[in-house]
Chains A and B, each alone.
Chain A
Amino acid sequence: MPLLSRLSSFLRRLANRATQDSDLDDEIRFHVEMLAQEQIREGVAPREAYRTARLKFGGSDQVKERVREARVGAWFDTLLQDIRFALRMLRKSPGFTAVAVLTLALGIGANTTMFSVVNSVLLRPLPYPQPDRLVQFELRMGGGTADALSVPQFQFFRDHNSAFEAVAGTRGGTDVELKQGNSIQWVSSEEVTDDFFRTFGVSPATGREFVREETLPTGPPVAILTDGIWRSAFQADPQIIGRQIEIDDQGYTVVGILPRGFRVVDGSPEIFMALHLGNALGDRGMNTEVLGRLKKNESLRAAQANMDVVYEEFHRQDSARQGDRSVQLMGYQDYLVGDIKPSLLMLFGAVGLLLLVACANVASLLLARSNARQKEISIRLALGARRIRLLQQFLTEDLVLAFIGGAAGLLTASWGLTILIGSIPFYLPSNVSIKVDASVLAFTLFIAIATSVAFGLASFWQTSRLDLNSSLKESAKGSGSVSQNFTGRALVVCEVAVSVALLIGAGLLIESLYHLREQNLGFDPQNVFTMTTPFLPPKNAPHEAVWNSQQEILRRVQALPGVVSAAVVTVPPLMGRYNLPTQREGHPEQGIGGMEIRTISQDYFRTMDIPILQGRGFSDIDSAGSAPTVLISENLARLWWNGASAIGDHVAIGMLGGKLYTKTAEVREIVGVVGNVKGRSMGAPAPPMIYIPVSQVAADSTSPPPGWVIRTAKNVNIATALREAVAQVNPEQRVVLSAPLQHFVNMSVAGPNFDAQLMGLFAALALGVTAVGIYGVLSFHVSQRTHEIGIRMALGATPHDVLRLVVGRGMILVGIGIGIGIIAALASTRLFEALLFQVRPTDFATYAGVAITLTCVAFFASYIPARRAMRVDPMVALRYE
């Protein structure tokens, strides 16, 4: 009941806000009048009576204020009043407001943007039951890790571990042709083993999963459909189970349909086919990705220990010892975001520092401003305002400012996010949709409130220490309290330090990018165009037929205007990998498990501008009937022949450590040595590589579809002409991934490029904000010391002395800040060492460059207020008193 009456009182007060105060005035006037009447009755003169009455009543404004405070919902009135006051104050100094809001908008906006990305990519769990139990298997080798295993490894691990509930292998992600009557549709597919869906924690909604027998080399062709493709392509036909569908001209029996909403985030395949685990070359190579679901209550660490033991066992049984290796388990989510995580975390950290600079700047602006309002505050305190009331008002002012900044920040974020998403060069798992959602809003709100409370307390801290008398006595030029100047200076030092750290980070990343771009690719990507032509079904077409049609395409392409030369290659540089176990013939001790193999046509080296260092290239004499030949890369020649000539010696492809991995090893004679070429990534050293002439190779369904490289004259766009040439030879042949090779070169530095650009942007923003901060503090300093400067000049100081005084003060702060920043950078840049390429985190040039840049910027920021100080007219300054 009391609550109800309080509520109705609150509403009544709210409704009668206008009349309330005049009512109170009347009430008080009546009271004073009655007091006066009392006096008059006692014979006091009316004038004197009213004076005494008013005195007796006490300050009527104080009484009114206390009445207002006593009312229900007083806080609401106060709040409105404070907000109105705050808005008035902000309007009164538009320059201050603009700089503060802009700074906050940048800081909060940048943070909200980065948090949106981090939240979507790293924090949101995968859409599977107990996603933390999903684990990806990786193979750690001497030079790095591979995310795919060989079939024997997979089978051994699956059958001998004790840590996993289920282990499954997958391969593919290729598009297949789904034929229904006359209509043809291209659908993404994946080959998976039994237990694949159990690993993900789901089972088909209808039908069943694949069984072990279906993954044998002789297993029947069977398929499982996603709910999506079942509805779109088969009209949700419930009779589909057990029926045949036509994929790549082959009949597959549908055995299951997955539950609605389930998808494999890595590539989003729509049709799953049983993976046949055989003995083909591709099965022996490391081409099968392996996933596992941990047993309940099994930790990743315990599973890793188990796998270490299992791998040792495998290693013992494996006659082909493949050097120093181990299996590494990785959380599936970590695996999916592995490329992005370090750079996202680094950028998130950087953007947090940017916010710190922004806050320090706004705080120092507020500090300067509240100093200018010291007199106002003193007067209000003297008139009886309570400190708590002032604190309330300051907090409201800062809250209003922070909320305007926050709103502007949110706008900046939604705008920044569209740009950022467009430019994220990483592969994002397909469950990731980056948007400004509730948690992001909460995050922004939190930053806004936290910053405003921080400012509020900072500015209140000094007003609460105010000594009334001395500050009232001091005139407007007042030199400000010592503590306050100290706080302002400390903030500038802090801003400079953080900017230095950010600039150093940006500098190191930019330098890495430069080194990466300067990498010797081993080929010339300029004016080279690439495309890929997927195999036409049936997959096992005789090699001659494929090669004949390729030769026909090559002839036509070479005849195109503007084309210099053209060639076929299994995997063009930077576009992937294809490897097989290989050893030096007769030397079981010299072998490489994942030897990169490229099948090429004879003009490949000319087209790519790869030098032939020894021996000869391929020519027409390397035909299907002639002796099998290879070319090897220079680093392989050095590795296995160590200075001696490799020409005339032999390699055995498909053999490792003397053990056969295929029915028969392909023993080939080395006829030449060519320059090293980058493999899949620009950051890794060029891998040893073997080239086989396409004219001599037997088709293998597991080898990747043929790629093409075409060198043209300058500024020739042949994309359309290429497609036409292919279509003329075979109208059914698809062309995918046709783009200039330079595009792939750019793509492979896209990650570092993105890091460097964003980091550069953040650092530049921090630098700008810091410059404003230095300018603000020194301007304030100059305006406070106008009087003192006037005296100095009257006593004979030259403008030059004044300049030195002001700039010198600024530069001391900057010097301290740079020192602290460098120490902070030394301590922290090691954290993102992994993102650096050929740059040490303690790179001297970067540190020196940053120090010089910051000194220059700081000099100009302090020069402007110093100029103002120089122009002080001593007469005016002294008369100012």
Chain B
Amino acid sequence: MGKDQLQGALELLILKVLALEPLHGYGIAQRIHQVSREALRVEEGSLYPALHRMEDEGWIASSWAESENSRRAKFYRLTRAGRKQFATESKRWAQTSIAIARALEAS
């Protein structure tokens, strides 16, 4: 898979995680780790650039708030555009993965 698709996957995961509740960067990394049943580990070197890029695209927004351990943290939340993006991207992802799976099974 190309670099763009990997990036797309990361963005899709972030959108998925944020669709549940607003989270800070550390929390997002943790959550992805958990929901993938510890199969995926997001590197910080990829996470933060992706977050900032997505914020520039207008899919997520950020604000500073108190975290669960009473520290100031930057929380990201989904915007309306982000929800729309999540819907279209997850659909596309599903179609793509089904198509790939089919292609791999056929022989």
Binding site for B on A (CB under 8 A): 1-2, 5-6, 8-10, 13, 23-24, 26-28, 30-31, 33-35, 37, 57-58, 62-63, 66-67, 69-72
Q: Assess the A33–B48 pair: CB atoms within 8 A.
A: no
Docked pose: A26 CA to B26 CA in angstroms: 12
Q: Point out which of B44, B49, B57, B71 has the most chain A C-beta atoms below 10 A from its C-beta.
A: B44
Q: Can you name the residue of chain A whose Cβ is closest to the Cβ of B67? A: A30
The A-contacting residues of B in range 31-88, CB under 8 angstroms, are: 43-45, 48-50, 52-53, 55-58, 67, 69, 71-74, 81
Shortest distance from the beta carbon of A30 to any chain B beta carbon, whole Å: 5
Docked pose: A2 CA to B24 CA in angstroms: 24
Docked pose: A26 CA to B67 CA in angstroms: 13
What 0/1 readout, one digit per residue, does chain B (21-35) give for beta carbons within 8 Å of chain A?
Answer: 000111001000000
From the candidates B56, B58, B69, name the one contacting A71 in the complex (CB within 8 A). B56
Q: Which 4 A-B pairs have the closest CB atoms?
A: A5-B58, A70-B49, A9-B56, A72-B56
Q: Assess the A9–B25 pair: CB atoms within 8 A.
A: no
Q: Can you name the residue of chain B whose Cβ is closest to the Cβ of A59? A: B45
Q: Assess the B44–A63 pair: CB atoms within 8 A.
A: yes
Shortest distance from the beta carbon of A26 to any chain B beta carbon, whole Å: 7
Q: Assess the B44–A31 pair: CB atoms within 8 A.
A: yes
Query: For residue A23, which residues in chain B have a CB less than 8 angstroms away from its CB?
Result: 74
Query: For residue A26, which residues in chain B have a CB less than 8 angstroms away from its CB?
Result: 72, 74
Q: Can you name the residue of chain B whose Cβ is closest to the Cβ of A56? A: B44
Q: Point out which of A6, A24, A31, A72 has the most chain B C-beta atoms below 10 A from its C-beta.
A: A31
Q: Assess the B44–A67 pair: CB atoms within 8 A.
A: no
Query: For residue B57, which residues in chain A have a CB less than 8 angstroms away from its CB?
Result: 2, 5-6, 9
Q: Assess the A31–B58 pair: CB atoms within 8 A.
A: no
Docked pose: A62 CA to B43 CA in angstroms: 12
Shortest distance from the beta carbon of B32 to any chain A beta carbon, whole Å: 14
Q: Assess the A70–B53 pair: CB atoms within 8 A.
A: yes
Query: For residue A37, which residues in chain B have a CB less than 8 angstroms away from its CB?
Result: 69
Given A30-B24, A66-B45, A70-B53, verify A2-B58 contact (CB < 8 Å).
yes
Docked pose: A1 CA to B79 CA in angstroms: 14
Q: Can you name the residue of chain A whose Cβ is closest to the Cβ of B54? A: A70
Q: Can you name the residue of chain A whose Cβ is closest to the Cβ of B69? A: A37
Q: Assess the B56–A66 pair: CB atoms within 8 A.
A: no
Interface of A is mostly: helix
Q: Assess the A28–B55 pair: CB atoms within 8 A.
A: no
Query: For residue A34, which residues in chain B have a CB less than 8 angstroms away from its CB?
Result: 26
Q: Can you name the residue of chain A whose Cβ is closest to the Cβ of B51? A: A67
Docked pose: A117 CA to B72 CA in angstroms: 67
Q: Point out which of B69, B72, B74 has the most chain A C-beta atoms below 10 A from its C-beta.
A: B74
From the candidates A30, A58, A67, name the one contacting B26 in the complex (CB within 8 A). A30
Docked pose: A63 CA to B56 CA in angstroms: 17
Q: Assess the B52–A70 pair: CB atoms within 8 A.
A: yes
Given A9-B58, A30-B26, A58-B43, verify A71-B53 contact (CB < 8 Å).
yes
Query: For residue B72, which residues in chain A have a CB less than 8 angstroms away from its CB?
Result: 26, 30
A-B contact pairs, 13 of them (CB 8 A): A2-B57, A6-B58, A9-B55, A9-B58, A23-B74, A27-B25, A28-B44, A30-B71, A58-B43, A58-B44, A63-B44, A66-B45, A67-B48
Query: For residue A70, which residues in chain B have a CB less than 8 angstroms away from its CB?
Result: 49-50, 52-53
Q: Assess the B81–A31 pair: CB atoms within 8 A.
A: no
Query: For residue B53, which residues in chain A have a CB less than 8 angstroms away from its CB?
Result: 70-72
Q: Assess the B52–A5 pair: CB atoms within 8 A.
A: no
What 0/1 readout, one digit per residue, does chain B (1-36) give for beta carbons within 8 Å of chain A?
Answer: 000000000000000000000001110010000000
Docked pose: A30 CA to B23 CA in angstroms: 13
Shortest distance from the beta carbon of A246 to any chain B beta carbon, whole Å: 81
Docked pose: A30 CA to B49 CA in angstroms: 16
Query: For residue B48, which residues in chain A have a CB less than 8 angstroms away from its CB?
Result: 24, 27-28, 63, 66-67
Q: Assess the A67–B71 pair: CB atoms within 8 A.
A: no
Q: Can you name the residue of chain B whose Cβ is closest to the Cβ of A73? A: B56
Query: For residue B52, which residues in chain A have a CB less than 8 angstroms away from its CB?
Result: 67, 70-71
Supply 12 further A-B pairs (C-beta < 8 A) apart from A63-B44, A67-B49, A71-B56.
A5-B56, A8-B58, A9-B57, A26-B72, A27-B25, A30-B71, A30-B74, A31-B44, A58-B43, A62-B45, A63-B45, A63-B49
Shortest distance from the beta carbon of A472 to any chain B beta carbon, whole Å: 25
Q: Assess the A27–B50 pair: CB atoms within 8 A.
A: no
Q: Can you name the residue of chain A whose Cβ is closest to the Cβ of B50? A: A70
Q: Assess the A30–B73 pair: CB atoms within 8 A.
A: yes
Shortest distance from the beta carbon of B44 to any chain A beta carbon, whole Å: 5
Q: Assess the A33–B71 pair: CB atoms within 8 A.
A: yes
Q: Can you name the residue of chain A whose Cβ is closest to the Cβ of B59? A: A5
Shortest distance from the beta carbon of A801 to any chain B beta carbon, whole Å: 57
Q: Can you name the residue of chain A whose Cβ is closest to the Cβ of B53? A: A70
Docked pose: A58 CA to B49 CA in angstroms: 14
Shortest distance from the beta carbon of A693 to any chain B beta carbon, whole Å: 97
Q: Can you name the residue of chain A whose Cβ is closest to the Cβ of B73? A: A30
Docked pose: A31 CA to B75 CA in angstroms: 12
Q: Point out which of B56, B67, B72 has the most chain A C-beta atoms below 10 A from its C-beta.
A: B56
Docked pose: A35 CA to B52 CA in angstroms: 21
Q: Assess the A31–B25 pair: CB atoms within 8 A.
A: yes
Docked pose: A643 CA to B6 CA in angstroms: 103
Shortest distance from the beta carbon of A858 to any chain B beta carbon, whole Å: 54
Docked pose: A37 CA to B73 CA in angstroms: 15
Query: For residue A31, which residues in chain B have a CB less than 8 angstroms away from its CB?
Result: 24-26, 29, 44
Shortest distance from the beta carbon of B51 to any chain A beta carbon, whole Å: 8
Docked pose: A225 CA to B39 CA in angstroms: 95
Docked pose: A822 CA to B57 CA in angstroms: 62
Q: Assess the A69–B49 pair: CB atoms within 8 A.
A: yes
Q: Assess the A57–B74 pair: CB atoms within 8 A.
A: no
Docked pose: A37 CA to B67 CA in angstroms: 13
Query: For residue B74, which residues in chain A have a CB less than 8 angstroms away from its CB?
Result: 23, 26-27, 30
Query: For residue B73, which residues in chain A have a CB less than 8 angstroms away from its CB?
Result: 27, 30
Query: For residue A62, which residues in chain B have a CB less than 8 angstroms away from its CB?
Result: 45
Q: Point out which of A33, A37, A70, A71 has the most chain B C-beta atoms below 10 A from its C-beta.
A: A70
Query: For residue A35, which residues in chain B have a CB less than 8 angstroms away from its CB?
Result: 26
Q: Assess the B71–A66 pair: CB atoms within 8 A.
A: no
Docked pose: A5 CA to B81 CA in angstroms: 10
Shortest distance from the beta carbon of A284 to any chain B beta carbon, whole Å: 86
Query: For residue B69, which residues in chain A have a CB less than 8 angstroms away from its CB?
Result: 37
Q: Assess the B49–A66 pair: CB atoms within 8 A.
A: yes
Docked pose: A9 CA to B73 CA in angstroms: 21
